[in-house]
Amino acid sequence: MMAEKILVLYVDDEPALLDIGKLFLERTGNFSVVTINSASAAFALLKKKHFDAIVSDYQMPGIDGIAFLKSIRAQGDKISFVIFTGRGREEIAIEALNNGADFYLQKGGDPKSQFVELAHMIRTAVKRRRTEDALSESEERFRGITDRISDLILIVDPQGFSTFVSPSIISILGYPPELYFKKLVESISIPAEDAEKLAYAFERLNNGSLAEHLDFRMKKHDGSYAVFDGRALPVLKDGVYAGIQLVARDITDRKRAEVALQQANRKLHLLSGITRHDIKNQLTVLREYIRTLQETIPDPALEGNFTRIINVSERIAAMIQITKTYENIGVNAPVWQDFHSLFDTAIHDTPVGKIQCINEIPSGTEVFADPLIVKVCYNLIDNAVRYGKKITTIRFLVRKRNDDTIIICEDDGVGVPADVKEKIFERGFGTNTGLGLALSREILDISGITLRETGEPGKGARFEMTVPKGVVRFAAPR
């Protein structure tokens, strides 16, 4: 039974039948019944009050039940309507159903059984009407959203035919949606290689995949191509695969901007490379002039100044060389890299002398990061060697902390004083160039990895790289 009251307007010219009908219906179920003795009076009441259903006799003075029904439907009113009249009028039943009646019920027989049946008809008709109204409202809401949304929405049936194309396709491609009601993967607007990708993704969805990421192109009215980035999901009807819904965003402008940015970066890369090369050449010339001057004027009082000038020029050259590394940060897209192998490579390339390096990170511990992350490993080892003093061991390990993965580089050296734990990551801090740890933070930050020093002063340095969920995975060892 329905939870809310069903408001029924019962129209009949027999007062006794109205009384008994109201009594039975309100006892039978959650009905609230208003009775009235003519169709004309019913029209006047309907203008003032809302009803969920009408039960009407056929043969009444003035306007009969069929004429009443036709007038209701002519006004566009979809209210549930049941014709309730005498026996032997099958032609009336047919006419009533043809003109929009939900049900037809003959009078006569046991009143209780009859009104139980009438109550069932009313409930069924009202429930069906409410379902249709809800579906219509949902469709209107969906249509309103799709009419305003800028993304492209496609719904494709199991045979690959598009059954819905959002109006946004007009502004994106310049073609009306109706043009695309055909086999999507064979559409002339999609390049062959992209159509092949779509067909493969659709096949995977048909075979049980929960979602597929897609990038593809579609030809525009002017002959150019729009680039889309989308996500396809299976459409299920009663738990059975019924097609595919694809929501895709036009990223053409973003792609153009990326290409323009890449071109600008290449030009800046070329310019900085040329500038760096020229400065290094000039520094080389400067150092040679200083040495010549030092040999020409062999004055012990000036010897210290000459040495300091040469050291400064060499420091400038080293700092310029560091900019070459900074220049490459973010140039290449992040990739999955095995941290065990990265530390092994860094250990091999760094002069550690007699210091023991122990790599306890399991093979297959992969992190999504800038390709320059190998320099982070190198910088951590180099930093330990330079400043550890009494250091004998460098250890690399991995730990879990809540949802994060912590990759650790620790040593048994003198550690880092508490008052400089953050300063060591500043550019220019330290006795070398002061760029190693600052550079490491910049490289890691690209994929959301943080770096901090957590060791206890006097007991060794401990650098922790906190890798967020989604940026680390544990693949099978190679």
- Confidence band (pLDDT; 50, 70, 90) for 173? confident
For the cut 90, the answer to whether the pLDDT of residue 335 exceeds it is no
Q: How far, in Å, CA of 476 to CA of 478, rounded?
A: 6
469, amino acid identity: K
For the cut 60, the answer to whether the pLDDT of residue 1 exceeds it is no
Domain coordinates of the chain in residue numbers? 6-145, 149-250, 255-327, 335-474
- pLDDT single digits (tens) 351-409: 888 999 999 999 999 998 888 888 899 889 988 998 988 999 999 999 999 889 999 99
Mean pLDDT highest for which of 78-87, 314-323, 421-430?
A: 78-87
For the cut 80, the answer to whether the pLDDT of residue 327 exceeds it is no
DSSP 8-state class, residue 161 = B
Helix orientation angle between 111-148 and 15-28, rounded to the nearest 10 degrees: 70
Mean pLDDT highest for which of 84-88, 270-274, 336-340?
A: 336-340
Residue linked to tokens 């039978």: 28
Other Cβ atoms closer than 10 A to 176 = 11
DSSP codes of every residue in 242-289: EEEEEEEEE-HHHHHHHHHHHHHHHHHHHHHHHHHHHHHHHHHHHHHH
Other Cβ atoms closer than 10 A to 330 = 15
Query: Distance between terminal CA atoms of the chain?
Result: 64
What is the average pLDDT score of the chain? 84
| Count, residues in the chain | 478
- So what's the pLDDT on residue 410? 95
Check whether domain 149-250 has CATH 3.40.50.300, yes or no: no
For the cut 90, the answer to whether the pLDDT of residue 35 exceeds it is yes
For the cut 80, the answer to whether the pLDDT of residue 457 exceeds it is yes
pLDDT > 90 fraction of the chain, expressed in percent and rounded: 25
**What average pLDDT score do residues 196-211 get?**
85
Per CATH, the architecture of 6-145 is what? 3-Layer(aba) Sandwich (3.40)
- pLDDT single digits (tens) 243-258: 888 889 998 888 887 7
Determine contact, residues 200/212, Cβ cutoff 8 Å.
no
- Confidence band (pLDDT; 50, 70, 90) for 51? very high
Across the beta sheet with 240-250, what order do the strands follow?
162-165, 152-156, 240-250, 225-237, 212-219
**What average pLDDT score do residues 161-188 get?**
73
Q: How far, in Å, CA of 34 to CA of 51, rounded?
A: 9
CA dihedral 94, 97, 98, 100 (to 10 degrees): 160
For the cut 80, the answer to whether the pLDDT of residue 452 exceeds it is yes
**What average pLDDT score do residues 455-475 get?**
91
For the cut 50, the answer to whether the pLDDT of residue 108 exceeds it is yes
**What average pLDDT score do residues 255-262 get?**
75
Q: How far, in Å, CA of 389 to CA of 244, rounded?
A: 64
Q: Give Cβ neighbours of residue 280 (< 8 Å, ≥ 6 apart).
A: 317, 320, 321
Q: How far, in Å, CA of 396 to CA of 357, rounded?
A: 8
Mean pLDDT highest for which of 5-9, 195-199, 469-473?
A: 5-9
- So what's the pLDDT on residue 2? 46
Sign of the Cα torsion 371, 374, 377, 380 reads negative
Single out the residue of 332, 333, 336 nearest to residue 472, CA to CA.
336
**What average pLDDT score do residues 225-229 get?**
90
Class of domain 335-474: alpha beta
For the cut 70, the answer to whether the pLDDT of residue 208 exceeds it is yes
- Confidence band (pLDDT; 50, 70, 90) for 68? very high
- So what's the pLDDT on residue 295? 84
The 10 Å CB-count burial string (b at 16+, else e) for 254-275 is eeeeeeeeeeeeeeeeeeeeee
Q: 252 phi and psi, to 5 degrees?
A: -60, -50
Q: pTM score, two decimals?
A: 0.43
395: which strand partners? 358, 410
